[in-house]
Amino acid sequence: MKKALFILVAMTLVSATAFAQVRVGVGYANSADRFKVQNSDVQVGTSNGVYGTIGLNIPVAGDLSFSPSVMYTYLTAKSGKSGLGGLVSAGATSQEHYINVPLHLEYGSELFPNFRLFFFGGPSVSFGLISKTTYSAGIGGYTVDTAVDNYNDYSDYGRWDVMVGGGMGFDLLHRIRLTVGYDFGLLDRELDNGSITRHRNQLSAGIAFLF
- For the stretch 46-96, pLDDT in tens is 999 999 999 999 999 999 999 999 999 999 999 877 666 667 778 889 999
Q: What is the pLDDT of residues 104-120, one digit of tens each?
A: 999 999 999 999 999 99
Helix/strand/coil for 22: strand
- Interatomic CA distance for residues 163 and 183, integer angstroms: 6
Asked whether residue 66 is domain-assigned, the answer is yes
Whether the CB-CB separation of 136 and 80 falls below 8 Å is answered with: yes
Q: Among 8-17, 59-68, 89-98, 186-195, where is mean pLDDT lowest?
A: 8-17
Asked whether residue 134 is domain-assigned, the answer is no
Using the predicted structure, report yes or no on whether residue 38 has a pLDDT greater than 60: yes
E strands present in 38-175 = 40-61, 64-83, 88-112, 115-139, 142-149, 160-172
pLDDT at 139: 82
Q: How far is CA 144 from CA 88, 92, 141, 148, in A?
A: 12, 11, 10, 13
- pTM value is 0.84
Asked whether residue 149 is domain-assigned, the answer is no
* Structural domains of the chain, count: 1
Of 165, 166, 179, 168, which Cα lies nearest the Cα of 210? 179
Asked whether residue 141 is domain-assigned, the answer is no
Say how far residue 160 (Cα) sits from the centre of its chain. 12
Using the predicted structure, report yes or no on whether residue 169 has a pLDDT greater than 50: yes
Asked whether residue 146 is domain-assigned, the answer is no
What contacts 130, CB < 8 A, 6 or more positions away? 95, 96, 97, 151
Residue 53 belongs to what domain range? 22-80+98-127+160-210
Asked whether residue 5 is domain-assigned, the answer is no
Higher pLDDT, 169 or 82: 169
Q: What is the CATH number of the domain that holds 119?
A: 2.40.160.20
Say how far residue 151 (Cα) sits from the centre of its chain. 18
Helix/strand/coil for 141: coil
- Interatomic CA distance for residues 125 and 177, integer angstroms: 23
Give the confidence band of 1 by pLDDT, cuts at 50, 70, 90. low
Asked whether residue 186 is domain-assigned, the answer is yes
Using the predicted structure, report yes or no on whether residue 30 has a pLDDT greater than 70: yes
Of 12, 8, 121, which Cα lies nearest the Cα of 66? 121
Q: What is the DSSP letter of 156?
A: -
Asked whether residue 205 is domain-assigned, the answer is yes
Of 206, 179, 183, which Cα lies nearest the Cα of 31? 183
Whether the CB-CB separation of 23 and 211 falls below 8 Å is answered with: yes
pLDDT at 91: 85
